[in-house]
Structure 1
Amino acid sequence: MFWLMISILLLQRVSELFLANRNENTVKKLGAVEYGRKHYPFLVSMHGLFFLCFMLEVNLLERTLSGWWGILLPFICLVQLIRYWAIFSLGFYWNTKIFVIPDAELCSKGPYKWSRHPNYIVVALEFILLPLLYNAYVTAFMFTVLNACMMRIRIQEEEKALQLNRN
C-alpha cells in the first residue's frame, strides 16, 4: 500500500507541475509578472526531499502503517480534495510559482473564501499526516519545521507581490 500511495502522490505532483507550466504560459500572455524566483528552487527541492526522506525513513527504519490509519487516511483524502478545490477555484491562475497579473482581482471563491493560502495549509497538513500514516516521525517533524520556514518566506513574498499590484 505504501508504494501505491507514493506512486499516486508523485504522479499527482508531476501532473501539477505540467499544469503549472501550462498556466504559466497562459498568465504570461495576460501580462503576469513573476515574483519569488530566488526561493522557488528551494521550495521545489524541499518537496522532492520530503518524498525522498519519507521513503527512506519508512524503508530503512522499517516503519509500518500506523494503528491510527483509519483516522489518518480519511483526513489525507480530505486534504487532497481541498488541494483540488483550491486548484480548480483558481483555474488557469493556479501555479506553483508566484505570478501576479496587473489589476486582477483576488480570488474569493472556493476555499479562498476562508483562507488566502489554502494550498499552503494543505501542504502543511500533508507534511504531517502522510508521515504519521507510517509512523515516520522524523520526516513529519523535520519537514513541518522546514515548511514553516519556507512558508514564512513564501507568504511574505506573495503578499509583497500582491501589495505592489494594488499600488
Structure 2
Amino acid sequence: MDILLWMIFAFLIFQRLGELALADRNRKWMLERGAIESGQGHYFLFVLLHTLFFLCLMGEFLWTTYVFTAFFYLAFSAFIILQALRVWCIQSLGKRWNTRILVLPDEAPIRKGIYRYIKHPNYVIVFFELLIIPLLFHAYMTAVVFPFFHLLILAVRIPAEEQALEKRV
C-alpha cells in the first residue's frame, strides 16, 4: 500500500508542477493578447497554501501509522472523479485557464463545458481535493485545516476575480 500512496503523492506533485508550467504558458499567451492581470497581491497565498498542504500531508502521513481500510477505495474513487473534473475545467477554458486572474478585455467569460453549470468549478474541486486527498493518506488534521484555509483565501479571490470580470469592457 505504501508504494501506491507514494505514487499518488508523486502524481500530485508532477500534476501541480505541470499545471504551473501550463498556467505560465497561458499567462504569456494572454498577456500578448492584451490581458489585464489583477489580484497579484493575494496570489502568494495560493502558493503558500498548496506548498504547506503538501508538506503537512507528507508530514502527517509519515508521523502516523497507516492502516489500510476499505474506506481507501471510496476516497480513491472520489479522487479519480475530482481529477476528471479538474481536467474538464482546464479543457473548458483552454488557453484562458490559469492560476492567476487574467482577463481579456472585450471577451466574454467562457460559458462552455463545466462552466455552463457552475461559475467557479475549479475552486469547488480544489476544496474537495484538499479534503479527499488527505483522507487517502490518513492525514486527518490536514483534511480539516486546509479546506478551511482555502475558503478563507477564496473570500478574497472570488470578489477580486468578479471585479476583474466586471471591468473587462
Rounded to whole Å, the distance in 2 between the matches of 1:124 and 1:132 is 13
SS of the equivalent of 1:49 reads helix
Name the residue aligned to 1:87: 90
Name the residue aligned to 1:159: 162
The reply to whether residue 53 of structure 1 matches residue 56 of structure 2 is yes
> Residues 109-137 of structure 1, C-alpha deviation per residue, up to 9 Å, x if partnerless?
11101111111111001000011122211
> Residues 92-124 of structure 1, C-alpha deviation per residue, up to 9 Å, x if partnerless?
000000000101111111110111111111100
TM (norm. structure 1) is 0.96
Rounded to whole Å, the distance in 1 between the matches of 2:131 and 2:73 is 16
The CA RMSD over aligned residues, in Å, is 1.1
Asked if the contact 2:26/2:98 (under 8 Å) is kept, the reply is yes
How many residue pairs get matched?
A: 166
Matches within 5 A, 1:10-159: 10-159=13-162
Asked if the contact 2:57/2:137 (under 8 Å) is kept, the reply is no
In structure 1, give the amino acid aligned to 2:74: I
TM (norm. structure 2) is 0.95
Shift of 1:63: 3.5
The percentage of counterpart residues that share the same residue type is 37
Rounded to whole Å, the distance in 2 between the matches of 1:93 and 1:101 is 9
Segments of structure 1 that go 5 or more residues without pairing to the other structure are none
Shift of 1:42: 1.2
Distance 1:70 1:113, change over 3 A: same
In structure 1, give the amino acid aligned to 2:117: W
Asked if the contact 1:85/1:110 (under 8 Å) is kept, the reply is yes
> Residues 39-95 of structure 1, C-alpha deviation per residue, up to 9 Å, x if partnerless?
001111101110110000010123444431111111100100000111011000000
Segments of structure 2 that go 5 or more residues without pairing to the other structure are none
